Amino acid sequence: MGVPGPTELLIILGIILVIFGGSKLPGLARGLGLGIKEFKKAVGGKEDETEEKKEIPEDNSEKP
């Protein structure tokens, strides 16, 4: 069994559209994209950006 062809993909997308509705699809796609981004970060061994920002001390001295 191989990769689904264009006809099968259209059928799958049609079923997803019927189940979730048109208004929920952008949020679903956004969540999927963020999940893939986080997965790639974890696999690549990159640290979380918020942790990197915490390590940099901020200079709160008065500016003239």
Cα–Cα distance measured from residue 11 to residue 33, given in angstroms and rounded to the nearest whole number: 22
Q: With the C-alpha atoms ordered 30, 35, 39, 41, is the resulting torsion angle positive or negative?
A: positive
Which stretches of the chain score pLDDT less than 50?
A: none
Q: What is the pTM for the complete model shown?
A: 0.46
pLDDT at residue 47, rounded to an integer: 57
pLDDT at residue 34, rounded to an integer: 94
Which residue has tokens 């974890």? 42
pLDDT at residue 39, rounded to an integer: 93
